[in-house]
């Protein structure tokens, strides 16, 4: 039995290809959960063309989270500058790993054809997109209302256009599943949709920036509390719009990769890398806008705690609303794989603030008493000195009179 395992990583995931039993042993030894590389759901052009390579064994895909990112380095995979893929063959005998060698090009390799390797790279990219889409679906499911209700509640024509685009892309994915490729007719229906999605994403980011700007220009605790409360709903709704935009962009990328494979296979690796870079670029402005909002909420919560004695009710409400908004953003970031460490603010209790002020007053008062005592001692000393001098002077003046009297 051939226990050699072929490992491929594109930075987002790790493909493990080989004898099914050997693959299972490897995944179990590393404690990894995986998906089938030949999943019928993603049986597009790339899957069809790489099918013969995968049919010879088993192919599983593992998402490279932060926890599993070390696997590429651990197993010594070597990165190709042309494809961007890190590859290697894990030599084994009865499940025992003997070492790692450079990716094979001989007859033992199931992926000795660069074109076949490119197809597997596309499948991996599409699985990563599927995973990202699933995580966004999970995020949207956590919203109290159905996402469709949230989106349709928006009166803006921009959002309405994005909803229509979603229907077109979902239809194209359905046809792709049935046909196994993206035909020219299917592509003609969807090729203009990225413009609408990008416009909607930009519009949603502007709405988040407007919320942040409004809070940045307010100084009164009551006004901040009102704005933060309104932001609880508004921010969640606009994040839902952004999530749907990202989901549709990933879905379109799945279709685009299949189309490039059909029309320009020689550009497949470059196009896959380009799509990966483009996705990262889309996340940058989103991260900036949401981080700005969190900074506003933190500043407002800090101001609320500082003025809790003057505005006890409004300050508590403001801190609560700020935490709600920030937590919503943190959850959104986690779904997108954006790291963000933040601790929630704790509303300062009026009694604690009052006790702190009391302690300061007592401390100041004690210092005042000590100062008064010191001043009293100094004054008493001066008084004693003056009194002593005065007494001596009176005594001196009195002595001659006594002398006179004695003489008389």
pLDDT, averaged per 10 consecutive residues of the chain (408 residues), comes to 75 84 85 73 52 60 79 79 80 50 42 69 84 85 63 68 91 89 93 94 94 91 90 90 93 91 86 90 91 90 73 77 88 80 50 46 48 44 43 42 42
Distance CA 88, CA 111 (A): 11
DSSP per position, 30-70: HT---EETT-GGG-SHHHHHHHHHHHTSEEEEEE--TTTTH
Q: Report yes or no on 170 lying in a domain.
A: yes
Q: What is the pLDDT of residue 406?
A: 42
What is the domain range of residue 34? Answer: 5-116
The answer to whether position 51 is within a domain reads yes
Are residues 53 and 189 part of one domain? no
What is the pLDDT, as a whole number, of residue 52?
52
Please count the structural domains in the chain.
Answer: 3
Which long-range contacts does 99-108 make (Cβ < 8 Å, 24+ apart)? 100/75, 100/76, 102/78, 103/6, 103/78, 104/6, 108/2, 108/4
Asked if 171 and 242 sit in the same domain, the reply is yes
Domain match, 268 and 220 both: yes
Domain annotation covers residue 136: no
Query: What gap in Å lies between CA 233 and CA 310, rounded to an integer?
Result: 27
One domain for residues 258 and 185: yes
178 occurs within a structural domain:
yes
Answer yes or no: is 123 within a domain: no
| 3-class DSSP state of 96 | strand
Q: Would you state the pLDDT for residue 169?
A: 95
Q: Are residues 314 and 222 in the same domain?
A: yes
- Tell me if residue 367 falls in helix, strand or coil: helix
């Amino acid at each position: 039995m051939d226990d050699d395992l072929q490992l491929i990583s594109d930075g987002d995931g790790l493909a493990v290809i080989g004898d099914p039993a050997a693959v299972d042993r490897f995944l179990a030894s590393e404690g990894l959960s995986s998906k089938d590389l030949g999943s019928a759901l993603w049986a597009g052009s790339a899957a069809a063309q790489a099918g013969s390579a995968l049919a010879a064994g088993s192919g599983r895909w593992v998402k490279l989270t932060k926890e599993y990112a070390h696997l590429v380095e651990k197993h010594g995979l070597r990165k190709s500058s042309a494809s961007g893929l890190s590859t290697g063959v894990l030599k084994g005998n009865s499940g025992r790993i003997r070492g790692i060698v450079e990716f094979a090009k001989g007859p033992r390799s199931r992926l000795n054809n660069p074109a076949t390797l490119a197809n597997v790279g596309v499948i991996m990219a599409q699985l990563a997109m599927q995973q990202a889409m699933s995580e966004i679906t999970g995020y949207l499911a956590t919203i109290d209302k159905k996402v469709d209700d949230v989106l349709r509640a928006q009166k803006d024509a921009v959002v309405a256009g994005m909803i229509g685009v979603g229907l077109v892309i979902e239809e194209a994915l359905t046809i792709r599943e049935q046909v196994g490729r993206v035909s020219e007719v299917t592509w003609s229906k969807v090729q203009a949709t990225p413009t609408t999605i990008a416009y909607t994403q930009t519009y949603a980011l502007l709405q988040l920036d407007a919320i942040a700007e409004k809070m940045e220009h307010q100084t009164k605790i009551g006004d901040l509390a009102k704005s933060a409360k309104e932001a609880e709903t508004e921010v969640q709704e606009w994040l839902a719009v952004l999530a749907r935009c990202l989901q549709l962009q990933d879905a379109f990328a799945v279709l685009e990769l299949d189309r490039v494979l059909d029309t320009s296979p020689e550009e497949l690796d470059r196009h896959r890398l380009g799509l990966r870079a483009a996705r990262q670029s889309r996340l940058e402005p989103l991260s900036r806008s949401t981080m700005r909002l969190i900074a506003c909420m933190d500043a407002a919560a800090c101001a609320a705690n500082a003025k809790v004695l003057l505005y006890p009710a409004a300050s508590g409400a403001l801190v609560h609303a700020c935490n709600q908004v920030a937590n919503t953003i943190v959850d959104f970031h986690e779904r997108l794989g954006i790291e963000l460490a933040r601790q929630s603010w704790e509303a300062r209790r009026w009694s604690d603030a009052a006790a702190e002020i009391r302690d300061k007053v007592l401390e100041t008062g004690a210092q005042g008493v000590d100062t008064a005592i010191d001043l009293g001692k100094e004054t008493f000393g001066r008084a004693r000195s003056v009194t002593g001098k005065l007494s001596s002077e009176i005594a001196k003046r009195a002595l001659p009179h006594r002398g006179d009297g004695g003489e008389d």
